[in-house]
Amino acid sequence: MGLTHPQYLVMLALWQHAPLSVRRLSELLQLDPGTLSPLLKRLEAIGYLRRERDPADERSLAITLTTEGRSLRSKAEKIPPAVVERLGLPLADLQSLHAALTRVIAAAVT
């Protein structure tokens, strides 16, 4: 897809929740705004999103997807099944692993 893994994660969050403030996107991805800002600039430069001042709060940046950014979603939807197939593990095992890792992440955050 021509995206780094962190850029892909940003796009996943935006496909699910856009428009988002930089602050909210930072919270969702558990990334520092200083780390997130260069990712957003690169994604804006390649035409997948726009960073604009939020009309409701001029101090906040609103992140919205462009038409090209939205259309990339159909290509991205092919990735999870391909990963599952390549891993060659039963879906139940992958779901169990996902649940365990989600608990680890939650424990580390608190």
Q: Which residues pair with 50 in a beta bridge?
A: 64
pLDDT score for 43: 98
- DSSP characters for 28-40? HHT--HHHHHHHH
Full-model pTM: 0.81
Q: Is 82 exposed, middle or buried (0-12, 13-18, 19+ CB in 10 A)?
A: exposed
| pLDDT tens per residue across span 40-97 | 999 999 999 999 987 778 888 899 999 999 999 999 999 989 999 999 999 999 999 9
